[in-house]
Amino acid sequence: MPRVFSGIQPSGDLHIGNWLGAVRNWVTMQEQHECLFCIVDLHAITGGYDVASLRRRTLEMAAGLVAAGIDPERAVLFVQSHVPEHSELMWLLNSVTPVGDLERMTQYKDKSAKLESIPAGLLNYPVLMAADILLYRADLVPVGEDQLQHLELARGIARKWNAEFGGGTDLFPEPQGLLGAARRIIGLDGQAKMSKSLGNTIGLVESPEAIWEKLRPAVTDPARKTKRDPGTPEVCNLYALHRHFSPPATVAEVAENCRGARWGCLDCKRVLAERMAATLAPIRERAADLAAAPERLETILADGAATARRMAQETMREVRDRMGFLAPTGQPAARGATA
Ligand code: AQP
């Protein structure tokens, strides 16, 4: 079975952009792949973060993922910082990663442009992402469009490491990205990517009332100043969301009534709010059940970390050996290790 790795930051609430762009695919993939899904808390500290809420957010992210359908019986679900080998491999991969490549990353350029002092972690973020994937020698990485550039860099790092230390047999497969049907969900501001850190999201476990409160002021077709102006659904972000949450007949009805100026934007939003709330209701209910049984979540994460760590340690033995590090006395050598 091909091995899949993907991660998500506990930098805010799990939102419908994460779900449509990534998590929904994860749920499907666990049927036919060996899957590892990771809550990447080490990534979440690279751009400034609230120490007091990191633990809670990490647990809530785990609850959200299980509620969304990640099945701990089929997939390994774990927290990145519970497997210290991620940080170790990242450091070792730094030795084959050109700084110029990191400086070219669009996400780095966007995020660093807003900062007076740039933490080195922001620059090195893609090296940690490469370590996350390569540590498990994953073949496939389901991601949204925003992560494709980082994934390309990870492939380059794998290639360089194999060329330098592979000794004729590649240790790391070059991971392939897998884009889902929803590559880039736009936020409620109608402009930027829906992002936890931008506050333009709808959370996956929000109540129907909260969904409505967020959708009501959401930006629509800017040319539509009043209800009497005919709209252009194709330029409206809410129409794009209808396509993900409403059945085809409703999508067609929305488009027709928008173009014909029979519905105002609020009418369209009301239908969308209902559809969204109905689609997300089972996830919300499962998340509430999990919140009431925190020990279940703790067990899932502990089991996940134990499995992931076994796999990570096996890779790291091989990596250390091929890179020429002296093994501590008493530690088993890597398979095929040189004396
Ligand atoms: N708007 C989006 N549309 C489609 N896919 C998306 N993803 C994120 N936002 C969208 C995908 O979700 C997965 C997990 O993302 P992440 O949390 O690790 O990183 P991110 O892309 O940086 O997500 P955010 O919400 O934008 O977080 P912040 O604001 O903290 O940076 C990834 O596969 C991502 O592609």
Sheet holding 140-143, edge to edge: 75-79, 34-39, 3-8, 140-143, 176-179
Q: Does 189 sit in the ligand 1 pocket, CB within 6 Å?
A: no
pLDDT in tens, 199-250: 899 999 999 999 999 999 999 998 888 888 899 999 999 999 999 999 999 9
pLDDT of residue 291: 86
- As given in the structure block, the two tokens for residue 6 are 């993907």
For the beta carbon of residue 8, count every other beta carbon within 10 angstroms: 20
pLDDT of residue 339: 45
Q: How far is the CA of 121 from the centre of ligand 1 (A)?
A: 18
Residue ranges of the chain whose pLDDT lies below 50: 339
For the beta carbon of residue 91, count every other beta carbon within 10 angstroms: 12
pLDDT of residue 332: 64
Beta strands 3-8 and 75-79, pairing class = unpaired
pLDDT of residue 213: 97
pLDDT in tens, 62-90: 999 999 999 999 999 999 999 999 999 99
In the annotation, is 111 catalytic?
yes
pTM (two decimals): 0.92
d(CA 252, CA 260): 12
pLDDT of residue 335: 59
In the annotation, is 193 catalytic?
yes
pLDDT of residue 226: 86
**Cα separations in angstroms, 105 against 121, 126, 146, 185, 228:** 13, 9, 11, 20, 44
Report the nearest atom of ligand 1 relative to the CA of 111: 31
Q: How far is the CA of 180 from the centre of ligand 1 (A)?
A: 13
